[in-house]
Structure 1
Amino acid sequence: MKKLSWFNKVMFFFNIVLTVLTFIAYLLPFMAPKLFPFLSVFTLMMPLMLVLNFLFFLYWLLQTKRQMLLSGLVLLLGITFVSKCYKFSSTNMPEEKDDFTLMSYNVRLFNLYDWIPRKDIAGTIMGFIKEKKPDIVCLQEYSKRGKASFPAYRHKFVFGRDGETGQAIYSRFPIIDSGHIEFPGSANNVIFADIKKGKDTLRVYSMHLQSIKISPDIHEKINEEKSKVIFKRMSEAFAKQQHQAELFEKHKGSCRYKMVICGDLNNSAFSYVYRSVKGKMKDAFEEAGSGFGKSYNYKYYPARIDYIFTDKMINVKQYTTFDTFVNSDHFPVMTRLSLKEEE
């Protein structure tokens, strides 16, 4: 420290503060939001903290200062968090005849209340799905009043508490059973379909956890008072999500089939809720994605809150985020999969 200029001493002080905050963030996925509701919101800052640590590492490296070891160690210890935030290269394995594709998409009621100043949203989404030809489609915030139809899919399960809005699963393969999981005191839920593919039966869960009710344009009208309200709303939503994740975990524990879990978790990949829902399954983005995997249309933050998790007995061969298809506040995500043979 004695050999550092006064400016570098100030920089190193901020580097130390950042290190402490980053290590706290590393612990948060293991801390229940019900016990630490305000701290749980802190996980949303993880991508920014990882970027800042990388910039500090470069800053000291260019000066050949040993202080670079501090941020270097932080990044090394958090390497699993880095892979959840950004993937440098994608996997694109050769397509085989038994592969199948699955798309998950929060369609925001097909723009029922004109959030986007266009009248053709439902038709555009229908055309997009027809073009991409996924074998299984899971739609969150589905609305019958959106008047969207998908005639290419002979099999479907649509569920909504009010008979109008909810979720839907469309499949080219037969659905032999289906159902839903209710969340007390919430309009959100989970639906599932047991899908027969060849000799295998695959359970597909589509989930929509408690919304934090923050619109993509929130940065344009935020102030100190509103930020406090938003912070409180988010912490309460994360606590509700924990309870919902626990209900889901109990339900999936009784499933004897290979599983795919997809949908809108309304939380980051650094959260307790993500860790609880994912369990020992694979994150398709980590397996075969690239870039930030941004799935929520927020201008200044690469939010990935839509996920596809797969059983370990399922190969993830490709993963795509369609982040230029702006017809909802979410972007569609799609993966190409294949079932492993039983050993």
Structure 2
Amino acid sequence: MRKLSFFDKIFFFLNILAALVLAISLLIPYVPTKLLSSLSIVSLVVPFTVIVNLIFVFYWLLKRKRNFLLSGFLLLLWYIMLGPFYQFSSNENRMDVDSDKSLSLMTFNARGFNELKQLNSNNIENQIYDFVTKKNPDIVCFQETYYAMKRNNALNQYDYKFVDFIYGKYHGKVIQSVYSKFPILKIDSIPFPNSSNNAIYVDVLYQKDTIRIYNLHLQSFRIVPGLRTVQNQESAKLLKKSQSVMLKQYEQASLIREDMNSVNYNKIVVGDFNNTQYSNVYQVIKGEMKDSYLEKGKGFGRTYDLLKFPLRIDYILVDPEFEVLSHQNFDVRLSDHYPIMATLRLKSHQ
């Protein structure tokens, strides 16, 4: 075998660095964030790291060098252990489903229904109402709900709702809400210490079964997704801030998991995690639950754009007793997030 040229040696050194980052990313989801908080930020850049390692694999294959094995082996482990961030339409959505036996659920971070005019439009609120009415899910969960929704008659096709503003506008807290066609038996919040974010849950009576639905909005990094923002911040400060947010998210995820472990009936978790599926935060909440995108999604599953790259940070997770019949991502520009919807069925209702 021919020796590597000087350029190839430099390229292989860069390959080793990229492979090291990917190897670290394989550990991050399974090690508590509090133990590796300084490295947890790696979970946000896993898609970029995977793409870089793929480039190295193709390069070495074209050069007919065995060096491709380094990144190739790690990419195989990544796919098996953590799952893809892009899915081909191999898992067909079930369309032949009796609607009386299925449950459709949508989640959407609506960014206050454009209350602060982040989008240059005067009727975002009505556009959101029209969109939800058209898709007509059985249950819709909003993060960053518009304050007035506590008293207005919007979405009147839903007989039951919980708009939590106990921690609302005047206390600087983000408001969550749940709208349901099925009776809501219990409502409550899971307040997050020293944070403007929080979680709520509702117990819903669905065909004689009680289901607990958690609506989450975890700690935000509050970094406007633009290159200028990253360039203008000192890297040390940016890293320290990100580390602090990761620890907050871990604390919040642990509170949610603690509550989930105390519930005996079936659970659904939805919302804005402000983190990727490659984080320990996601793993703490998910546990043995199914991810509707990994079950029936396709494409990138984008719910947010970071530096124009599609990321998935909003989720629908369900207990194993649910069958995921379909998953949809919607390309509608009504917020900085994009809504998703899944159709489910309890296996006992088949």
**TM-score, reference length from structure 2:** 0.92
Question: CA offset at residue 195 of structure 1?
Answer: 1.1
Q: Conserved in 2, the CA contact under 8 Å of 1:91 and 1:287?
A: no
Deviations 1:4-57 (A, max 9, x none): 333222222221221122111211122333333221112211111111111111
Say yes or no: does 1:155 pair with 2:166: no
Q: Conserved in 2, the CA contact under 8 Å of 1:50 and 1:82?
A: no
Structure 1: which 4+ aligned runs deviate by more than 4 Å? 162-165
Q: Residue 334 of structure 1 corresponds to which residue in structure 2?
A: 341
Q: Conserved in 1, the CA contact under 8 Å of 2:82 and 2:278?
A: no
Say yes or no: does 1:195 pair with 2:204: yes
1:320 counterpart (321, 328, 344): 328
Q: What runs of 5+ residues in structure 1 fail to find an aligned partner?
A: none
Question: CA offset at residue 155 of structure 1?
Answer: 0.9
What is the root-mean-square deviation of aligned Cα atoms in Å? 2.0
- Aligned to 1:211, the other structure's residue is in SS state coil
Q: Residue 129 of structure 2 corresponds to which residue in structure 1?
A: 126
Range with greater deviation from structure 2 (258-267 or 224-233) = 224-233
2:192 counterpart (176, 183, 186): 183
Residues 165-180 of structure 1 mapped to structure 2, 5 A cutoff: 166-180=175-189
- Residue identity (%): 38
Please give the alpha-carbon distance, in whole angstroms, between the structure 2 residues aligned to 1:226 and 1:160: 36
In structure 2, give the amino acid aligned to 1:173.
F
Q: Residue 11 of structure 2 corresponds to which residue in structure 1?
A: 11
Please give the alpha-carbon distance, in whole angstroms, between the structure 2 residues aligned to 1:236 and 1:149: 38
Question: CA offset at residue 230 of structure 1?
Answer: 3.1
**CA 1:299 to 1:145, structure 2 compared with 1: closer, same or farther past 3 Å?**
farther
Please give the alpha-carbon distance, in whole angstroms, between the structure 2 residues aligned to 1:25 and 1:169: 34
Q: Residue 95 of structure 1 corresponds to which residue in structure 2?
A: 96
In structure 2, give the amino acid aligned to 1:237.
V
Please give the alpha-carbon distance, in whole angstroms, between the structure 1 residues aligned to 2:349 and 2:336: 40
Please give the alpha-carbon distance, in whole angstroms, between the structure 2 residues aligned to 1:308 and 1:65: 42
Please give the alpha-carbon distance, in whole angstroms, between the structure 1 residues aligned to 2:153 and 2:276: 30
Deviations 1:188-223 (A, max 9, x none): 11111111111222111101111111223x324442
Please give the alpha-carbon distance, in whole angstroms, between the structure 1 residues aligned to 2:64 and 2:124: 54
Say yes or no: does 1:257 pair with 2:265: yes
Please give the alpha-carbon distance, in whole angstroms, between the structure 2 residues aligned to 1:244 and 1:280: 18
Deviations 1:307-329 (A, max 9, x none): 1101101011111111x211111
In structure 2, give the amino acid aligned to 1:261.
V
Please give the alpha-carbon distance, in whole angstroms, between the structure 2 residues aligned to 1:111 and 1:157: 20
**TM-score, reference length from structure 1:** 0.93
Question: CA offset at residue 81 of structure 1?
Answer: 5.5
**CA 1:82 to 1:32, structure 2 compared with 1: closer, same or farther past 3 Å?**
closer
Please give the alpha-carbon distance, in whole angstroms, between the structure 2 residues aligned to 1:156 and 1:301: 34
**CA 1:126 to 1:312, structure 2 compared with 1: closer, same or farther past 3 Å?**
same
Q: Conserved in 1, the CA contact under 8 Å of 2:107 and 2:316?
A: yes
Q: Residue 139 of structure 2 corresponds to which residue in structure 1?
A: 136
Q: Conserved in 2, the CA contact under 8 Å of 1:260 and 1:309?
A: yes
- Aligned to 1:177, the other structure's residue is in SS state strand
Question: CA offset at residue 82 of structure 1?
Answer: 6.0
Question: CA offset at residue 138 of structure 1?
Answer: 0.5
Please give the alpha-carbon distance, in whole angstroms, between the structure 2 residues aligned to 1:160 and 1:297: 28
Q: Conserved in 1, the CA contact under 8 Å of 2:147 and 2:165?
A: no
**CA 1:82 to 1:54, structure 2 compared with 1: closer, same or farther past 3 Å?**
farther
Q: Conserved in 2, the CA contact under 8 Å of 1:60 and 1:68?
A: yes
Please give the alpha-carbon distance, in whole angstroms, between the structure 1 residues aligned to 2:335 and 2:132: 14
In structure 1, give the amino acid aligned to 2:76.
L
**CA 1:199 to 1:150, structure 2 compared with 1: closer, same or farther past 3 Å?**
same
Q: Residue 237 of structure 2 corresponds to which residue in structure 1?
A: 229
Question: CA offset at residue 156 of structure 1?
Answer: 1.0
Please give the alpha-carbon distance, in whole angstroms, between the structure 2 residues aligned to 1:8 and 1:18: 15
Q: Residue 76 of structure 2 corresponds to which residue in structure 1?
A: 76
In structure 2, give the amino acid aligned to 1:94.
M
In structure 1, give the amino acid aligned to 2:345.
S
**CA 1:303 to 1:205, structure 2 compared with 1: closer, same or farther past 3 Å?**
same
Q: What runs of 5+ residues in structure 2 fail to find an aligned partner?
A: none
**CA 1:229 to 1:327, structure 2 compared with 1: closer, same or farther past 3 Å?**
farther
**CA 1:148 to 1:228, structure 2 compared with 1: closer, same or farther past 3 Å?**
farther
In structure 1, give the amino acid aligned to 2:269.
I
Please give the alpha-carbon distance, in whole angstroms, between the structure 1 residues aligned to 2:6 and 2:67: 14
Question: CA offset at residue 226 of structure 1?
Answer: 4.5
